[in-house]
Amino acid sequence: MKLQIFPFVLLALLSAAPLAQAQEDPSAPEDTAVVAPLPAVPSATAAVDMRFACEWLADAYEIPARVPQEMLLNGYSYSDAIIALALMHKGASLNELLELRRQMRWLEVAERVEIDPMTLPIPVRNLLQLGVTPYKPKLLHYLPDVYSGLKRDLTINAFPPTVPTQTQVIRFKLDDEEVKHIRRALDDPFGCPEEILTDTAGKGALVVGDWVIAGVLCHHRPLTMDSILAARGGQQLSWSEICMAFGMRPDVLTRGPLTGVYPLLTGSTKGTVLCARKRNKFPLEMPLRYELFRLTVDEKVALRPLMLRAFKATPSEDMMLAKSNWQMAEQAICLQIARMSQLDLAQIMQYKSSGLSWEQIPAKLQLDLTGEDAFKLAMEHYSR
């Protein structure tokens, strides 16, 4: 009798094992159990799609690409990113949204920040019930807090290529290596490695970041970099004290373009994401759930309009791409080539139909792809 019962007991134990693994995290929002997680298999396509999609999200809302990048790299889903940015666009604090999301469903989050969900675009509203993730994301805190149009306010004016001048080299006793680092930081303040910004740059205990700050402050007042750096020499005065001494509000250091430089020199709370700074390191592979091909229908319907908005696509271009049967990433590649070349979208589609790969079309048009890392990765990947 025992032998007859044993197979049924074994079968019951085997069938119960997956259920035990699928128990809901009590600290996660209550709706997370309805989403079946994809296998945790690393995917190169997911890493490429994630970086490219972040460019669309950033351009659509005029925010730094670092914002959606950090969200997706820290475990948030595409749905989470789309909903959070849509609520942010309505005036909510993104920092507050991400904090509330850890404890509430999105409908409850919208109610807490006093935004009527019915005012959101229909594709986003459709995600409010389904825009969940079984993976508990990390809590992010952005500095400054994100709002639509932030990218414009973080722009730093170009510095003359003559800085540091020969007079400044002599006055501050700069060596060749320090001049090289200063010039690199002035050319790309947000893409420059953080180690360089904190490296020494002249007598008086100046660092490379001091030169960037002094250069930006010169655009606010008719002052010279020499006078500002001289006041900073020896670090007798803090930058906030220098701002007040020269008649400037200290918040220029933490609310404007210097947000990506000043906190590096003074320190910031651990885990804070400096929006202005460019991320230089990306994983080569990510989980399957970040492949655009695997998005739900509702997620694709919500993400595609943001992609079209990022490239300012017309309704006729939208219809042409919809008939192409290309994946969303390939449609974006086609649009970006058209915008960079200033050619009609139909011409780019014709090149593709003639047998040229996505990599070959920009080469044929002799396009300058400097700084378009995510775009180049996507073209390379989808040309295979």
Locus of tokens 């490429």: 48
Please report, in tens digits, the pLDDT of each residue of the chain (384 residues total).
Answer: 444 444 444 444 444 433 333 333 444 444 443 445 566 678 999 999 999 999 999 999 999 999 999 999 999 999 999 999 999 999 999 999 999 988 889 999 999 999 999 999 999 999 998 656 667 788 899 999 999 999 999 988 889 999 999 999 999 999 999 999 999 999 999 999 999 999 999 888 899 999 999 999 988 788 889 999 998 887 778 899 998 988 888 888 888 889 999 998 888 788 899 999 999 899 999 999 999 999 999 999 999 999 999 999 999 999 999 999 999 999 999 999 999 999 999 999 999 999 999 999 999 999 999 999 999 999 999 999
Paired residues of 287 in beta bridges: 42
Instruction: Output the six-digit token pair for 134.
Output: 């079984």
Amino acid at 381: H
Q: Residue 13 has what pLDDT?
A: 44
Q: CA-CA distance, 308 to 314, in Å (whole number)?
A: 8
> Cβ distance 355 to 364 under 8 Å?
no
Name the E strands within the chain. Answer: 42-43, 141-143, 272-274, 286-287
Q: CA-CA distance, 218 to 225, in Å (whole number)?
A: 6
Instruction: Output the six-digit token pair for 153.
Output: 């306010």
Q: Residue 40 has what pLDDT?
A: 64
Q: Residue 137 has what pLDDT?
A: 84
Q: Residue 74 has what pLDDT?
A: 93
Question: 142 in the Ramachandran plot: left (φ > 0), alpha (ψ -120 to 50) or beta?
Answer: beta
**CA 353 from centre of chain:** 33
Q: CA-CA distance, 53 to 329, in Å (whole number)?
A: 8
Q: Residue 31 has what pLDDT?
A: 43
> Cβ distance 377 to 48 under 8 Å?
yes
Locus of tokens 């250069």: 215
> Cβ distance 143 to 274 under 8 Å?
yes
Q: Residue 350 has what pLDDT?
A: 97
Q: Residue 223 has what pLDDT?
A: 85
Locus of tokens 């694709």: 300
Q: Residue 132 has what pLDDT?
A: 60
> Cβ distance 64 to 150 under 8 Å?
yes
On the 0-12 / 13-18 / 19+ scale of CB atoms within 10 A, 8 is exposed
Q: Among 203, 204, 199, which Cα is nearest to 212's?
A: 199
Q: Residue 19 has what pLDDT?
A: 35
Q: Residue 38 has what pLDDT?
A: 63
Q: Residue 35 has what pLDDT?
A: 45
